[in-house]
Structure 1
Amino acid sequence: MVKVEKDQIGGKEFLSIIVLLIGTKAGDMTTTLLYGKALNAAWMVVLGSFLVMLPALVILNHVLGKFQQKNLMEIIYLTFGKYVGFLIGFGLFSIVLFATAIDTRSYSDQLITMNFPKTPLFALYGIFLVISFYLAKKGWESIGSVAWMIIPYIIIVMILLGFLLFAQGEVKRIFPLFGPGKIELAKISFSYTSIYGEAVALAMVYPLVKSRGVYTKGILLSLSMTVMGMALFYCLYSLVFDYRSIDKITYPFNEATRFVSLGSSIKNIETLYLTFWLLGIFIKFSIYLYVLSKIFGSLFGIGEFEQTIFPLTILVLLIGMMPENQIENVFVLRDKMLIYSKYFFLTLPPLLWLTIKVKEVMKR
């Protein structure tokens, strides 16, 4: 009998989820990390990292096609067995857990620095996670519906911002085109491949998408949109802020929204961007919490995994409060997380495929 999952979503909802999950990295501290290494050529790193990750995503999609209605953890257990599968699954859980804690803390610090300087970190961080928890608790279908409802407005607002930035920018600032050099760019692109690691983790919700065709089309279309959109905005930041200063700007997105205006009469429109940016971030971390609980439930055989969302949210809050400041959280912890987690995301799909092939050959 084929297991039918509840809370299944369609293609438009799945596309919206991926765009919000990965595309928001055009407005967070990822920009600061990449500009610190690649200077004005950071937009090339966005493209290069995707090209490095693409073969692993193609292989993973092929593996998922062999196991209808099985999520990533179930496939790992079936392929590697109980004990090795648990170790690999625990590695995935740990990466998603610490990534969620580090990223949520990063966004909280960003809000305090740029918009709410008098708000205590714990209070704002707690509110941030409570809202994300509330949406995650509603279920996968609700997350998809809210994502699809808000994504058109976010796209419209970002297109408007793109036009305004281009009008204020200077094309000559994109040079030197290859920033620190072609070889160095290739190394940086490989190092930060895990900025697309969520595309691998989303295999946990493969049975929660209506069909394999919908999942495949959603991944291809949404990643194409996201990669091009991120590269475009990274390029626009280079046009607005020249390479001598761009690596010294902590929050390029926030600075960019304050830099533009709609004519001489309508200024200080960063509140408009902040509103939709926050909505996108709340949805993003509700997805993180849901997927995290899904991994935890599969790892320990908990059928009603939704019940673990609240304790996992508390755990995220406790871990996120540990770094002393944003420098330690982003430039040390997040940087190392991005650099080292790439090995997991790049090797897991081909390792799954190879092991499955070996088992198939041995059965003949």
Structure 2
Amino acid sequence: MGKSEKDQVGFMEFFSIIAITVGLKSTDMSTVLLFKSGLNAAWMIAIGSFILIIPSLLLVNSVLKKYQCKTILEVTQLTLGKPIAFVVAFIMLCLILINTATDSRSYITQLITINFPNTPLFILYLCFLALCMWGAKKGWETVGTIAWTTFPYLIIALSFLFFLLFKEAVFNRIFPLFGTGLWEIAKGSFNFIPLFSEPFTLAVMYPFVKGHQTYTRGLYSSLVFTVFLMVLLYLSYLWIFDYRSIGKITFPYNEAIRFVTIGRSITNIETFFITIWLVGVFVKFTVYIYLISRIFGFLFRIEEFEHTIIPITLLVFVIGLIPENNETNIFLVRTTTTAYVKYFILCFPPLLWAAAKVKEARAG
């Protein structure tokens, strides 16, 4: 994986990529699972999950700094050996591929159910993935530019949405403040650690960010901002619908944008919010498809990994079309993957850090 100046992204591009890929999780079906676990304290789970991943982030960042110009997979190969690096890359590939397929299908189902009930799933899903494939083929630098160009519009739209929802909020729905107790919040925070899995996946792009300092500032500042954004969205859902209703709403974000109005004459403003949201979703899955192709290239030693983007997109399309009842399957897949991903996030960084220390001691 060669590194060249034209392949690199700067602070704002990297910031935007993380903020969009992580932040948009607060607009998908994972919100329902979060509220079923945390009830009216679900917003605290997002904060708790972020706090729990900080040690792993620090360890990974420390190792990457030591082996600059190397991706996390290349560092794994150097410290733990090729067999373990192959296993780690294969696990990452499978998890990201399955989640990309199921999540992209979920977003399209969400769009069809609420906005385009007469549009065939096959056609809309194919067009969406073809657009993401086109974006991924443009390369990492272009993906970063698209993310940064899109990001301000997303923030403006969400700020406007917060303002409109704020007028309809019932604030006492936040009580009791800690839901069913601090222990339940702690358990929920542990179970939903995969909410912040993207920073570990994006570590495969470490050499393609302009400098370690840029990478570090972009990583931590974007995550803090994203946690703030997610908390605001979760609180907005809670204030508008209350936690009992959210557990019965498959797509809280789409219901929220249909709920708001501007005066008596302007009522159907969800088109504005859904358009900006769709652009963000496009960026999110463009990043995912690019990451899958890069990990696939590392796994099978394909230097020109960009040539795999088209077949990988087709594979995502086929896997995404498999489930007939998407809602049931997405909950099953999300529950199953989160059960294992959290252990990977918590256990692999200390192992990698320890292996790097041992290798350094032996070299010294």
Q: Tell whether the structures are fold-level matches, with TM greater than 0.5.
A: yes
Shift of 1:276: 0.3
Shift of 1:338: 2.0
For 1:167, the equivalent position in structure 2 comes to 167
Amino acid at match of 2:203: A
Distance 1:112 1:335 in 2: 24
For 1:236, the equivalent position in structure 2 comes to 236
Shift of 1:12: 0.8
For 1:295, the equivalent position in structure 2 comes to 295
Match status 1:203 vs 2:192? no
For 1:104, the equivalent position in structure 2 comes to 104
Match status 1:189 vs 2:172? no
How do residues 60-79 of structure 1 correspond to structure 2 at under 5 angstroms?
60-79=60-79
How do residues 1-364 of structure 1 correspond to structure 2 at under 5 angstroms?
3-4=3-4, 6-364=6-364
The answer on whether the counterparts of 1:14 and 1:144 sit within 8 Å (CA) in structure 2 is yes
Distance 1:244 1:287 in 2: 34
Amino acid at match of 1:98: I
Query: Normalised by the size of structure 1, how large is the TM-score?
Result: 0.97
Shift of 1:8: 0.7
Distance 1:191 1:352 in 2: 22
The answer on whether the counterparts of 2:170 and 2:240 sit within 8 Å (CA) in structure 1 is yes
Q: Deviations over 1:143-198 (max 9, x none)?
A: 11111111111101100101111111011011121223221111111011011001
Shift of 1:132: 0.6
The answer on whether the counterparts of 2:3 and 2:207 sit within 8 Å (CA) in structure 1 is no
Q: Secondary structure at the match of 1:244?
A: helix
Shift of 1:3: 4.9
* Stretch of structure 1 that moved more, 336-345 or 187-196: 336-345
The answer on whether the counterparts of 2:106 and 2:327 sit within 8 Å (CA) in structure 1 is no
Amino acid at match of 1:181: G
The answer on whether the counterparts of 2:16 and 2:222 sit within 8 Å (CA) in structure 1 is yes
Distance 2:350 2:306 in 1: 30
The answer on whether the counterparts of 1:23 and 1:226 sit within 8 Å (CA) in structure 2 is yes
Amino acid at match of 2:282: F
Unaligned runs of 5+ in 2: none
The answer on whether the counterparts of 1:5 and 1:207 sit within 8 Å (CA) in structure 2 is no
The answer on whether the counterparts of 2:46 and 2:231 sit within 8 Å (CA) in structure 1 is yes
Distance 1:122 1:55 in 2: 42
Distance 1:215 1:3 in 2: 15
Shift of 1:5: 5.5
The answer on whether the counterparts of 1:168 and 1:240 sit within 8 Å (CA) in structure 2 is yes
Shift of 1:317: 1.0
The answer on whether the counterparts of 1:29 and 1:250 sit within 8 Å (CA) in structure 2 is yes
Q: Which runs of 4+ in 1 moved over 6 A?
A: none
Distance 2:347 2:316 in 1: 26
Q: Percent identity?
A: 50
Q: Deviations over 1:85-126 (max 9, x none)?
A: 111111111111111111111111111111111222222111
Unaligned runs of 5+ in 1: none
The answer on whether the counterparts of 2:3 and 2:208 sit within 8 Å (CA) in structure 1 is no
The answer on whether the counterparts of 2:10 and 2:209 sit within 8 Å (CA) in structure 1 is yes
The answer on whether the counterparts of 1:106 and 1:329 sit within 8 Å (CA) in structure 2 is no
Amino acid at match of 2:283: I
Distance 2:244 2:16 in 1: 36
Shift of 1:273: 0.4
Distance 2:244 2:319 in 1: 35
The answer on whether the counterparts of 2:194 and 2:341 sit within 8 Å (CA) in structure 1 is yes
The answer on whether the counterparts of 1:39 and 1:246 sit within 8 Å (CA) in structure 2 is no
The answer on whether the counterparts of 2:296 and 2:305 sit within 8 Å (CA) in structure 1 is yes
What is the count of residue pairs matched by the alignment?
363
* Stretch of structure 1 that moved more, 276-285 or 145-154: 145-154
Distance 1:327 1:280 in 2: 22
* Stretch of structure 1 that moved more, 317-326 or 277-286: 317-326
Distance 1:259 1:280 in 2: 21
Distance 1:179 1:250 in 2: 21
